[in-house]
Structure 1
Amino acid sequence: MRFLPFASLLLATACVPLGTPITDPNAGRAGTQKPPEYYADKTLRYSDYTYSPDVRSVQCYVGTGQPNEVFQPPVVPLGQSQGIVLEFDVLGGQSQRYTAKLIHCDVDWQPSVLTDMQFLNEINEFLITDYRVGTGTKVPYFHYRLRAPGVKISGNYLLVVQNSGGAPVVSRRLLVYENQVQVGLKPGFVVGGQERYTLQQLDFAIGYAGVDLVNPAAEVKVILRQNFRWDNAKVNLRPTFVRDAERRLEYQYFNFENAFPGLSEYRYFDTRAAQSVGLGVLHVDPRANPTAVELQPETSRQKLAYNQYQDANGQRVFESREYGNGATNADYFDVTFQLKADQLAPGPVYAFGAMTDWQLKDEFRLAYDEAKQLYTGHALLKQGYYNYDFAVAGARGAAPDEVYFEGSHQQTENQYDLLVYYRPPGTRTDLLIGYQTVGMNSRQ
């Protein structure tokens, strides 16, 4: 699945969808329902998380100044001048005071023992002064924007936004890396039976000739991600071969430890226009408050052949065709998702993607009508182009099952990246000493 240039998205007549939370079908329409249990616990999580139902449309990316910058994951080399940008909306007609801070974390995303001054050159509290009110929208909101500060060492960082009472509002994971080692990441070939048609394998090796690693087999840790997601990342991957003479670690697996389901290209819908029907949309009611959007009924793709088209790898972009500038001119719509199914899935079904922080949120859970053989749910989403799919919840702690409704194909276009961590002897922190991305089935 490939990111489309932003300019192409704005000009294309066939567009892709955006995302928002889905509420209990028995509750009131979007904006009137009680806050779901997801938001009840305000305990800080060291992950991408939203702590308030009023906070929407969070984007965290590298501010390159290019039209497609919102698709760049928050990963930067140490010392890069182009910083990471965080943007979010807060529903309501009154602006609020927010501050942000950075928390340095280890490879397992637990807070490290470093003091603030060991990774920052300034006081670790940043007042968010860049905010603007939504203009001409039915749903009132304020749009906030913050550029993350530069840091002195590589590794994992959690950017946390807090309200005036000190409670967390938004947290986002940031990565700062150095290229101390040579990372060789490339698409591989799945050796197996039926798996070679459904899985995508990534082969990789790490050359450490330029850095003195004392015990690389035990001290180097790697994480492999698909489409920059954390929810299904491969962790605890150990080298299968250590070639001391060549100063090289090789990772060659035979039980699919380095393989991911290819899935399908993401579903999409376009709500950038309030007066017309976009791609993936069945009906728009501009008279409703908020504007009501009913998406085309979708069906399972589990048994279908692969269908090639360009998508945005589960991401979304905000925009208003009538007024432009999605940051403050895009309104919020009550979007209804529909999925035809002749029987109940083996678990609860959710709309899923970047719009849900790659989490199974209560707001996006779908309800099943046995008489209509239809899953439905609705969520309040900002105008834009969205990618999403449908996921089935499994056992507690297990990754969502996206294959059940989406199928899986080796031909699907996806992006992968590899993170290489190392904790030098006698130090108290895990450094991110290598980073590389690679496209699978790239069509550029």
Structure 2
Amino acid sequence: MIKTIFANFFLLFTVSSSFAQAEKEVVPPYNIKTISFVQNEQNIIPILNLGEGFQLQFDDLFGNEANYYYEIIHCDYNWIPSGLPKNEYLEGFDNQRIQDYTNSFNTLQIYSHYKLSIPNQFTRKLKISGNYMIKILDENKEVVFSRKLILCEDLVSVPLQVKRARTVTNMDTKQNLDFAIRSNTITFQNALKNVRVVIMQNGQLNNAIKNVVPQYTIGNELIYKYDAETQFWAGNEFLYFENKDIRAAANNVGKIDSDTAIYGSRLYTNAARANLPYSFSQDINGNFVVKNINASNSEIEADYAWVYFSLSAPSFRLNKDIYVTGMFNNYNLTPEYKLDYNPKKATYEKAILIKQGFTNFQYTIADNKGNIDFENAIDGNFYQTENNYTVLVYYREGIDRYDRVVGKGSASSVNSTN
């Protein structure tokens, strides 16, 4: 009888696990804007050390002080819910209402600004490292949007070096990573199975490299020195515009529209840079800064503006779409950010509502399934491009019930070598 019960339980667990699906970020509706993880009053890539505090902030353009709730889910390496009870990965409770919100002040576009702080009086601590999905829910407990968060321990070191691609055909267009994993704390057992890595360029998960195994080991050191498996298309420096004073045409803003309900910032037309020589320009690798230079609190006093993008790409003939992407929209490939072709001007155009400040952006080519074409990038690929790279190390021994993130390494291609 006991054997039968155990067998049935094991079968039920196996079947339920096989149907588990990976968590995917839910794209917010039109009224939710400027979603960002904030630490020390700066937007950050959501990769934090275990125990650090942070805020998840966003605006609701309806400005009606709606009630929003949050849920936190721990996931494994592949973003499938780990199945751990919540009391094993968080101290306190989630599914609580976000109580910190303020209405905009002295802006043409009204909005309510929300802050979810972790820790807070209900969720006092996230107890273990790994992948987390934070879901924001409405009053009906339906998901409004969700964002990924990664918490890291400091148990391994990851010396990392950016190099020019070793493959001859990609020497001028790709960047390659050499790195190792070292630890005085963990004795790696069956590293091919228990150690996994995620390699990211500028903090983006949409083009991350996964499932790369160590090429060889030296004692307790894992070595990764591949020619092709750890290469990224180098891309080009991010474009930017600045409208910290929403009534004045600043950097890369050619004209201000003030005869509409909300100010408009018309950018100068960008020329496709793929066939031009590489030219360095300072960027913040896709990030953005909300700022109103005439206000004391930009969180609620920065206004929104219609930003008019214009792209001249006469050689673009692929049967694909062009999007405006950056951290300001989480690199989402949705119709709201897809450029439309204007045959009269022979340019691609789009008006997007963006909170004022300093914003990095890029033009991204993708098909109707969301597959990005990095090779034929509108602005080309140049090995000289300055990119930030991050390597995350996941570790799970045979007796562990979840994937720990035991360390990370980072490097900039500014210090790349041949």
Whether these two folds match at TM > 0.5 is yes
CA distance in 2, matches of 1:343, 1:184: 41
CA distance in 1, matches of 2:25, 2:282: 26
- Identity among equivalent pairs (%): 29
Aligned residue type for 1:108: N
1:3 alignment partner in structure 2:
none
Could you say what secondary structure the match of 2:377 adopts?
helix
2:251 alignment partner in structure 1:
279
Could you say what secondary structure the match of 1:435 adopts?
strand
Segments of 4+ moved more than 4 angstroms: none
Aligned residue type for 1:176: L
1:413 alignment partner in structure 2:
386
Matched, 1:440 2:410: no
1:64 alignment partner in structure 2:
40
CA distance in 2, matches of 1:182, 1:93: 46
8 Å Cα contact 1:225/1:232 also seen in 2? yes
1:227 alignment partner in structure 2:
202
| Residue correspondence of structure 1 range 115-264 to structure 2 within 5 A | 115-149=85-119, 150-243=125-218, 246-254=219-227, 256-264=228-236
Higher mean alpha-carbon deviation, 174-183 vs 87-96, is at 174-183
Query: Structure 1 residues 48 and 437, CA, compared in 2 at 3 Å: closer, same or farther?
Result: farther
Q: Which has the higher contact order (CA 8 A, sep 6+)?
A: 1
**How far 1:300 sits from its partner (Å)?**
0.5
Aligned residue type for 1:56: K
Query: Structure 1 residues 309 and 324, CA, compared in 2 at 3 Å: closer, same or farther?
Result: farther
| Residue correspondence of structure 1 range 11-410 to structure 2 within 5 A | 46-61=23-38, 63-64=39-40, 69-70=42-43, 72-80=44-52, 83-149=53-119, 150-243=125-218, 246-254=219-227, 256-346=228-318, 347-394=320-367, 396=369, 398-401=371-374, 403-410=376-383
Could you say what secondary structure the match of 1:218 adopts?
helix
**How far 1:164 sits from its partner (Å)?**
0.9
**How far 1:324 sits from its partner (Å)?**
4.3
- Post-superposition Cα deviations, 1:299-357, rounded to whole Å, max 9, x if no partner, equal 11001111112101111111112224321111111111101122543111111111221
Aligned residue type for 1:404: A
Could you say what secondary structure the match of 1:232 adopts?
strand
8 Å Cα contact 2:22/2:78 also seen in 1? no
- Post-superposition Cα deviations, 1:232-258, rounded to whole Å, max 9, x if no partner, equal 000111111133xx112111212x221
Aligned residue type for 1:139: Q
CA RMSD of aligned residues (A): 1.9
CA distance in 1, matches of 2:150, 2:68: 23
8 Å Cα contact 2:391/2:409 also seen in 1? yes
Could you say what secondary structure the match of 1:264 adopts?
coil
Could you say what secondary structure the match of 2:171 adopts?
helix
- What are the ranges of 5 or more consecutive residues in structure 1 without an aligned counterpart? 1-43
**How far 1:442 sits from its partner (Å)?**
5.8
Could you say what secondary structure the match of 1:202 adopts?
strand
- What are the ranges of 5 or more consecutive residues in structure 2 without an aligned counterpart? 1-20, 120-124
CA distance in 1, matches of 2:315, 2:201: 30
